[in-house]
Structure 1
Amino acid sequence: MTTDKNGAPTEVTDDSDRFSISVDGTKAGFTEYIDHDGQRIFPHTEIDDAFGGRGLATILVQEALEVTRAAGLRIVPVCSMVAGFIDKHPEFNDVVDPVTTDVKRILSRR
């Protein structure tokens, strides 16, 4: 189990269209995704303000990307939080695809 910067236990769950993170059983945030043609597109990540500064976005995004890689899917980091994480963790570069016109079209249909 991973703990946040305050030492509180966290749990990341896959809820079919988003990964959610909970702290001590309280939902604290999520990162949305859309699976399309072998890619997992990450358009948005959000952490509740009450949980800010505790490193939850990093824990959440890392877990989401590890699960995505293990599932054999390519990562498309539309969300700035996901893109920023990848910039700092080049070990994911081998499974990252750029945001293309096709990806933007998929997102516009949401």
Structure 2
Amino acid sequence: MTQQLNDNTGARVTVNLDEAQPISAYTVSLADGSRVGRAEFIDPSNGERIFFHTEVDKEYSGRGLAGLLLREALTDSIRNNLTIVPLCPLFATHLKKHGTAFLADGGRFRRPTKADITLVTRATQRNA
């Protein structure tokens, strides 16, 4: 999945899906290819995607890049019939505010559990 988009300044950016094990990410890059943000997740092989961390380099804050990552990740989850588990505060806040619209568009999400936190902790420790 690769999407060409424009940020809040009108600059061209690219959002890519970088699949890896155990941690994958949607990344956002500038036109020159510099990667400046990522939304990290794990796929526990049960049709769910647990988002646990999103960040954008501080020098690019205010350009809407985190929002682009979030929207593309959610749109891709609908396309792939995945249930979102929002451990990441950005995803949790977005779904709290816009969850009804996300569900109406065909998305699915559920609240995280302690088991989800354990899965993410193990994945990030293995990746360290």
Same fold per superposition (TM over 0.5): yes
Q: Deviations over 1:17-56 (max 9, x none)?
A: 1000112232110000100111100010010001101010
Work out the number of aligned pairs and report it.
110
Gaps of 5+ in 2: 124-128
Letter in 1 for 2:60: F
| 2:34 paired residue among 26, 33, 38 | 26
Secondary structure at 1:58 match in 2: helix
Identity of aligned residues (%): 35
Q: 1:11 — aligned with what? A: 14
Letter in 2 for 1:2: L
Letter in 2 for 1:88: K
Q: 1:96 — aligned with what? A: 109
Q: 1:46 — aligned with what? A: 55
CA RMSD of aligned residues (A): 1.3
> Does structure 2 retain, via aligned residues, the 8 Å contact 1:58–1:85?
no
CA offset at residue 92 of structure 1? 1.9
Q: Does 2:91 match 1:82? A: yes
Secondary structure at 1:43 match in 2: strand
Partners of 1:41 and 1:53 lie apart in 2 by 25
> Does structure 2 retain, via aligned residues, the 8 Å contact 1:14–1:20?
yes
Q: 1:35 — aligned with what? A: 43
Q: Does 2:84 match 1:71? A: no
Q: Deviations over 1:77-96 (max 9, x none)?
A: 00001112223322224501
Gaps of 5+ in 1: none
After superposing on structure 2, the runs of 4+ consecutive aligned residues of structure 1 that deviate more than 6 Å are none
Secondary structure at 1:72 match in 2: coil
